[in-house]
Amino acid sequence: MSRIEIEIHLERPPGVCLGFSIVGGTNVSRITDCRAIVITRITKDSFADRDQQLKLHDIILCVNNISFTNIEHQLAVGILRSTRNNVNLSINPNLTRPTDAIVTDLKEIFDDIIGLKQTKEALSYAIILRVKFSYLFDGNRKSWTNILLYGVSFELLIKFHIIVFIKAYWYYGSVKVKKKVKDLFKLARERQPCILFSDHTDGLCEKHYNTESETSRRIKNEFLVQMRRVGQDNSNVLLLAATNIPRAVDTVTLRRRIYTPLPDVNERAALFKTHLGFSNYHLIRDHKWMQLAQKAQNYSGADIDVICRKASPQSTRRLRSATHFKRKDMLAALAIQKPAVDKSEILAYTRFTRKFGR
């Protein structure tokens, strides 16, 4: 999938700061584990905060036609400080996951998530009830020790505060990975109650093929051994896995499978209103949200986020002095931004759910 790029135009009076901070860069990647230039703080009511175009963890790709893809940190800071009144940013919005490796703050996690009712109920049962009322799961009455979320609507996971987070850059070719798997589950037991989250888990729990390498086979076997051990030793550890290719995952490995569907029309209307309803810079009336939602069939929450960001600067592109964007700006953004999921994928998810979903 090609990366998403959004153009953002910021205007500011001379001498006034843009209102955001960055981390990353080629010269600090060993310390921060991030070569990209990433936005880490946005000052409230600043020029960067207007219309909520920029968001935390967005990646800056270009500033006034200067590439930020492979740049040192101090040089990036210097370029941002030297920009004059008009600043044109090209960004890659972070729509996938939080950046912290270990988070220990488990707050109320479902209240501000739109839709996915069945998914939230299943996770509440497996996580919250299991921790608060552990005595309910004594003896033969056991909770699920592993859950597979499949589909495309992983906005739920963006809001979810994971206790331990498996980063996507595991080194599959390294002989040390097998030990890393052991150490990871050991850490999970030490920190229990604990959640292990595995993104793109089809790479770890895929069906066995004769063509896979011996190294890959050893890693998968170790992962399965540790996962089964968690289910047998009554440790308060839950493996929460996600994939958008459920047919590639060994269904015996992850027995509890939950479909995370695309938002329906009411949920899409709520998403549009959530992204733009707080702003004073639009002229969209309440009854128009549903009309926008009806035109956004098969759009995910991430797609709607991109549409709202693209629509925000439409008025300034027409006229620099314009102060509000209108419904036609949203329709123009809808025409440009097509849904990331086509009908054939949705049909495949539906068939998989009928056959394997639980």
pLDDT digits (tens, 9 = 90+) for 94-110: 654 433 444 444 445 56
Could you give the CA distance from residue 62 to residue 83 in angstroms, rounded to a whole number? 13
Q: Where along the chain do the CATH 2.30.42.10 domains lie?
A: 6-92
| Per-residue tokens: 160 | 């979810």
CB 19 within 8 Å of CB 43: yes
Please give the pLDDT value at position 301. 83
Q: What is 265-336's CATH number?
A: 1.10.8.60
pLDDT tens-digit map of 23-50:
877 765 443 445 788 888 888 777 777 6
The CATH number that domain 117-262 falls under is 3.40.50.300
Looking at the chain, the domain(s) classified CATH 1.10.8.60 span: 265-336
Residue pair 87/63 in contact by the 8 Å Cβ criterion: yes
Q: Is the pTM of this model over 0.85?
A: no
Residue ranges of the chain with per-residue pLDDT less than 50: 1-2, 29-33, 96-107, 156, 158-175, 315-316, 318-323
**pLDDT computed for residue 98 by the predictor:** 39
Structure tokens that stand for 298 in this block: 């098969």
Q: In the chain, which residues fall in CATH 3.40.50.300?
A: 117-262
Q: What helix, strand, coil percent values describe the chain, rounded to 5?
A: 40, 15, 45
Name residue, tokens 């299991």: 130
Place domain 6-92 in its CATH homologous superfamily: PDZ domain (2.30.42.10)
